Amino acid sequence: MASNSSGGGSDRQRVAQQRLRIIAGHLQRPVDVDSTILAAECKAQGTETHVEEKTVPKRRQETMKWNGWGYSDTKFLFNKKGQAEFTGKRYRLSGMIIPALKEWMEGTFGTNMQHKSPATPILTSGAVQPPTLNEAFVEELTSTGIPFSLDAEDRVFRAHGHCLHEIFALREGKVGRVPDLVVWPNCHNDVVKIVELACKHDVCLIPYGGGTSVSSGLECPPEETRSIVSLDTSQMNRILWIDEKNLTAHMEAGIVGQNLERLLNESGYCTGHEPDSMEFSSLGGWVATRASGMKKNIYGNIEDLVVHVRMVTPQGVIEKSCQGPRMSIGPDIHHFILGSEGTLGVVTEVTMKIRPVPEYRKYGSVVFPNFEQGVACLREVAKQRCAPASIRLMDNEQFKFGHALKPQVSSMFTSFLDGLKTFYITKFKGFDPNCLCVATLLFEGGREKVLQHEKQVYDIAAKFGGLAAGEDNGQRGYMLTFVIAYLRDLGMDYYVIGESFETSVPWDRVLDICRNVKARITRECKDKGVQFAPLSSCRVTQTYDAGACVYFYFAFNYRGLSDPVHVYEEVEHAAREEILANGGSLSHHHGVGKLRKEWMREAVSNVGMGMLKSVKDYVDPNNIFGNRNLL
């Protein structure tokens, strides 16, 4: 059980001392073994490391929405003049007017600005059930000095991710099963203590990182009768060391993406791992869900970046004995941890590859006559293995959506240039505005190599009818990556619900899966009584030798539906069935959680499920990590 973790720690310490004595024999000066091996331990013990200030507060609801996406001071709204604007000061789009958004919403969804469906502004204490406490656990937890909370707002904030049904319910003030207690460990050793106490008192633990799950992964199982504790890793946010010779860095798993990159940048380095959620998602969450970033073409996915992982389980601590770049020692234990989604334990520390911050960065974009030629171009780029850091292809519906988000220009000259570009593409070159699509590009590296790389990609694009569409469009496309999630809240204010989901698929199935899934969404919405045609769109976001990741977006006006969330879930379920029938994967990087686990057996086979369950039964025989994801 969990008590093995302390014994395992003693064994590792003994082995480490023995090996350091061997190494010391090669040195001219004796080594103080004890002081060496105790470096970089818990913050509470006062050791000095690269300490990160508390950029993620314990009371996240003070800076972030409790029933929507992102920062509390940031949102899309329609002002008194009926113009759309983006509030706050955190993004390049902040404070700007978006003149075309209102017309696009009205034309796409049939929305009426007079018909609003506002969210419940505050959480009422009566909506939250009082905590079910294991008094013996609470008493021993108190004696450790590890901070915890029974506050209703703290508990509700950690009871959900960002699936549509979760946010829709919160907007209506409906709260289901929530954690009974929230605990904030400061370091690995604190997590060991918490897990030991949970095992001793049979308490259910649900790890919580950035809270950006879109797989129902953070929902508390309603059938769970034990006390549920949310283990919030946000205060474990330090870079413990940077190794400039081996180009690796060792971090606590609670650090969020934007802070990790900022701190590494201060030392001249980066990981290059930039998922769309990187502002809020955590390093531990990336590992637990097998995350992917928009610049994976250069830096790799999370499984390519991880060198070493430390995870606390009910059976003890699991980690490899060294940080070699590759090992042939049986099945890779990292692959039991990567994608485990909080079912086996808590990731506490991670060593990752790092690189010097690129000296040069350049954005770009290419417009294609149609989606088919755009996909063919991306396939050729992948075949020649010359993909830039990021290349993403939007279909026509997404192109129009992105165009509706263009901010108001401040100069007549800029407006004239935009009109001239449109005239050149649609009239002179003959591109149909209802068929064309756009790829956004990002190049990184040394200046000379970037320029050579850029020419190679644009030359390939030209063979497929692509026209260079400028740096501004490319840069704006990547800027929108971080603000687009705020639009769902605006949509729900006006009876529009929507969501995105993703898959990976072989190249020869990309066009079929895009066409068939979008058509299935449209057909299902009509059959289920949705009065207005839905938005059904897609984009190709990551490319590989043998296939690509495809994102689907869909949304519809739910006025007239008695249970819009149920209709939405039926449509999404049908879309997932269509994806699987067309040769797509269950998920590329969002994970499985509870939302998609009904398809797990089909995805990995009966034997595969048996293997996963065997690992769970050994590592966590009493289901301490009882979020019921995956299995």
CA gap 192, 1 in Å, rounded: 12
Answer for the pair 499, 489: CB distance below 8 angstroms, yes or no.
no
HEC secondary structure over 458-495: HHHHHHCCCEECCHHHHHHHHHHHCCHHHHHHHHHHCC
Q: How far apart are CA 115 and CA 433, in angstroms?
A: 31
Are residues 367 and 426 in contact, defined by beta-carbon separation less than 8 angstroms? no
Strand partners, 240: none
Looking at 550-599, list the stretches that DSSP marks H as alpha helix, in order from N- to C-terminal side: 564-581
Q: Is 551 a catalytic residue?
A: yes
Amino acid present at 607: V
The C-alpha angle 202, 206, 210, rounded to 5 degrees, equals: 160
Determine contact, residues 321/237, Cβ cutoff 8 Å.
no
Question: What's phi and psi for 243, nearest 5 deg?
Answer: -105, 105
What residues contact 436, with CB distance under 8 A and at least 6 apart? 367, 368, 369, 370, 396, 399, 425, 426
Identify the bridge partners of residue 362 per DSSP, sorted by sequence position.
443
Q: What is the DSSP letter of 534?
A: P
Q: Which residues of 384-414 are buried (b: 16+ CB within 10 A; e: fewer)?
A: eebbbbbbbbbbbbbbbbbebbbbeeeeeee
User: Which candidate in 299, 494, 551, 568 is catalytic?
Assistant: 551
Distances in Å between the alpha carbon of 67 and those of 100, 292, 527, 548? Answer: 27, 26, 30, 33
Distance from C-alpha of 575 to C-alpha of 581, rounded to nearest angstrom: 10
Pick the closest to residue 368 from 416, 429, 453 (CA basis): 429
> Using DSSP, how many helices (H) and how many strands (E) does the chain show?
21, 21
Angle at 168 between CA 165 and CA 169, to 5 degrees: 85
**Tokens 């940031």 map to which residue?**
74
DSSP letters, 193-222, are: HHHHHHHHHT-EEEEESSS--SSSTTPPPT
The type of residue at 103 is: E
Active site residues: 551
